[in-house]
Amino acid sequence: MRLGTALHTHVLEMSRWDEEIAVAPPMDRRTKAGKESWAAFEADAAGKTVITADDAAQVQAMARSVFRHPAAAMLLGLPGKAETTHMWTDAATGLECKCRPDWLTDDGSIVVDLKTTKDASPRGFKQSVANFAYHKQAAWYLHGLEQATGKRPDQFIFICVESTAPFACAVYAADAEMIERGHDQAMRDLVKLAACKAADHWPSYSDQIETISLPGWMTGATGQQQATTEIETY
């Protein structure tokens, strides 16, 4: 989370780096002098995201990768603003809603979202979309901006940069099916949220005693063989 925050600041709001990010200097916090230095650093860094010098070097390398990518550099070179807040009231549920796009072009036509990821390949990032519901985020931002401003952006584009060397970067535009499915799921979530708030009831898992079994990878021949080997080894 800290790494992602630092990258966003470095790429999208570099002018705010010093007021948002604090890079911890190397010090031996086991010594009295080190403890005193750390206490002074913490006091100066209050309210900031604290990262190590190694983290800062990693963020700088990731940012260089982003700006060396032709499409990413083109998008971030368009007139636009970072981290603008847009609010509206949902007509169906009455809930107060908000979205805060990473980067929105001044003409309102393109939303850019900067993601750190382990795998920026098409296959890898598709898995991230599924794991972290990025399709719902994309649809929510497009819907929200339309509600808040009266103009629906034409595109939602992900800039993805890997968090390990060589910090590969890729750029993907969400397609129509992703937005459609994300919108349907986001609206269902909104209705569910409204119902939970109205009833002050927040269901999670089953209220009953359920039977649980071993995970699938332990029930096959491979799992049995692995278990037997571990017992014999022990």
**pLDDT of 229:** 46
Please give the CATH number for the structural domain made up of 69-202: 3.90.320.10
List Cβ neighbours of 149 (8 Å cut-off, separation of 6 or more): 86, 108
Of 102, 217, 110, give the one whose Cα is nearest residue 160: 102
Per-residue pLDDT at 230: 47
Q: How much is the pLDDT for 233?
A: 43
Distance in angstroms (rounded) separating the CA atoms of residues 168 and 125: 12
Residue with tokens 């086991």: 30
Q: What is the pLDDT of residue 39?
A: 81
Structure tokens, 115: 């993601």
Alpha helices in 150-175 (DSSP H): none
* Residue that is written with structure tokens 């909104």 in the block: 190
- Residue type at 106 in one-letter notation: D
Residue 166: asked if its preceding bond is cis (omega within 30°), the reply is yes
The C-alpha atoms of residue 78 and residue 106 are separated, in whole angstroms, by: 8
Rg of the chain, C-alpha, whole Å: 23
Q: Is the CB of residue 159 less than 8 Å from the CB of residue 96?
A: no
Dig out the tokens for 126 from the structure. Answer: 């598709």
What is the domain partition of the chain in residue ranges? 1-68, 69-202
209: Cα within 13 Å, side-chain hemisphere: 0
> What is the chain's pLDDT, residue by residue, as a tens digit (234 residues)?
888 899 999 999 998 998 889 998 887 778 887 777 878 877 888 888 998 899 999 999 999 999 999 999 999 999 999 999 999 999 999 999 999 999 999 999 999 999 999 999 999 999 999 999 999 999 999 999 999 999 999 999 999 999 999 999 999 999 999 999 999 999 999 999 999 999 999 999 998 999 999 998 998 755 455 544 444 444
Query: Is this prediction's pTM over 0.85?
Result: no
**234 vs 229: CA distance, rounded Å:** 8
79 SS3 class: coil
**pLDDT score of 222:** 55
Distance of alpha carbon 154 from alpha carbon 174, whole angstroms: 10
Looking at 98-133, list the stretches that DSSP marks H as alpha helix, in order from N- to C-terminal side.
122-132
